[in-house]
Amino acid sequence: MPPAVAGDPAAQQAAPIASSSSSPAIDDTSGPNWALFGGIAAVLAAIIVGIVVFSGGGSNDTGLTVTPATVAAPSVPNDDTVEDAPTAEPVADEPTTEPQQDEPTAVPAASAAPAAEATTIPEPTVDPSAEQPFVMGSNGNPIMNRLPLEFDDSLVDSPWAPNPCPIEQELVACIFAVVDATAPEDDNLSVPWFTLGYTPRIEPINYHLHFYIPELVGGDETKAGTATPGGAWRIWDGPWPATSFGGDGGRTMYTMADFRAAGSTTLCVIVATPEHEAIPGSGNCAPVVSDADIDNDNYFVMLDRLEGQWVGSCSTKAMAIAPADWRWYDLNDMSPRELAAEIRPTAIAQTAALLEEFEAQGGVIWAEGPVEDDFIVNLSMTLVPGNFTLNDDPQRVAEVLGQLGIPTGNGGQRQIGDGPVYFEVNDVGSGRSGATYLIPDSGYAISFTLTAPDGLGYGELGDQIAYTIQGC
């Protein structure tokens, strides 16, 4: 159970935002029929299920609600008001100009590499547990070119835990532990990283690492390399760990001053080719906050970050932290009928049909929590393709939704963590509500909906989960 919050969850409010003049009326829309999901939720909630299989082997009589796949999706009830939500300074809407040392001109040109170097690139290793020899770095520490011992990035037991690493990829670069920013006197960082499938090297050129700040690339990871103009990054191949200063060849990494200038608390890493192109989906990100920022709201927002487990992954293009005892499912890994058979074995056909509709509207993640009053509290994540960027504010999100033909009449904004997000609350019937949060990323938005009975304090949990949502 989440902490109880005074008030009625159905009363959760969204601060109004101006409607986009380009938003069509519902009758004029040609886009998805988001209102359809109110009916889906009602039908699913009415399904009588004799047995619900839980991962722990228990069973309960209950129903299921498919939360709306978009903004209009039934959202989560919150018994607190907007004023009660965590507040912090909003993230700057525009990326801050990257320091000069980020310029790719400081990178050794790929064309200058010896022609024979391609033959020295190790074969990609698909199996992350495969033995690979450590290579000694220039500081006498081994380069981490294999999976760290006892590696498990699924559980989140620290505010500073990185997001999941895509170890299923052939070439990987990931941050695997806490980024140390505890030296306020010099703003220096220490970043623990590892690679799979190659040993990073820049001189002579090989695959290597590009570190970047997501706000400086608008959430577009291809801009962390030469493939897409207008980006910014820092190159690295050693030593280990990566530090703000002292890289091989005089290279530097970021300092806390760079994060403050960008309005960011996140550091990302990605694999780069010998031509300095970032390989999408090959890295991860981690929180970065310094003890020097103890007077900054962002510091305490990060300290209060939800702990539990990661649901979703880079391959689904959506991930978030949810309570550790929730069960979650990736619709990229199983069909709606397979999922229906697992979660509603006595109503497979009905449940599969509704999940198929959810998937058709962009649904990728379904998760279920505790049973409350014969109802399973649930969350879903849906991808909404559109001209979004990571730095979009709620007004811009509403404008893009309008361009897509998605009504925004019920929409507003809500303060979560370090800034406002587009937000809606919808009544799904039978004393239950759903709260939907739209989190923009590069080229799409993640629609996250938490649905629960009113009056039980789940609004705070919705805010906590929404704060952790990331794309890829």
Low-confidence ranges of the chain (pLDDT < 70): 1-14, 16-133, 139, 182-185, 291-298
pLDDT (0 to 100) of residue 185: 64
Q: Map tokens 């009975």 to a residue.
A: 453
**Nearest CA-CA partner of 70 in 471, 439, 389:** 439
pLDDT (0 to 100) of residue 302: 78
Parallel/antiparallel/unpaired status of strands 284-287 and 266-272: antiparallel
pLDDT digits (tens, 9 = 90+) for 240-295: 999 998 888 889 999 988 988 998 889 999 999 999 999 999 999 999 877 666 66
pLDDT (0 to 100) of residue 429: 84
Judge whether 336 and 350 are in contact, CB under 8 Å: no
Q: Map tokens 């290793």 to a residue.
A: 125
pLDDT (0 to 100) of residue 53: 31
Please, is 390 exposed, middle or buried when counting C-beta atoms within 10 Å of its C-beta (0-12, 13-18, 19+)? buried
In single-letter form, the type of residue at position 263 comes to G
For the chain, give every domain's residue range: 9-86+306-468, 100-303
Which two tokens mark 291?
Answer: 């003890």
**Nearest CA-CA partner of 178 in 163, 160, 194:** 160
400 torsion bin: left (phi>0), alpha (psi -120 to 50), beta (else): alpha
Q: For residue 239, is the peptide bond before it cis, meaning its omega torsion is within 30 degrees of 0? A: yes
**Nearest CA-CA partner of 61 in 50, 45, 53:** 50
Q: At what angle do helices 348-360 and 36-46 cross, to 10 degrees?
A: 160
* Whole-prediction pTM: 0.74
Please, is 367 exposed, middle or buried when counting C-beta atoms within 10 Å of its C-beta (0-12, 13-18, 19+)? buried
Q: Greatest CA span in the chain, whole angstroms? A: 69
pLDDT digits (tens, 9 = 90+) for 308-342: 999 999 889 999 999 999 999 999 999 999 999 99
pLDDT (0 to 100) of residue 183: 62
Q: For residue 241, is the peptide bond before it cis, meaning its omega torsion is within 30 degrees of 0? A: yes
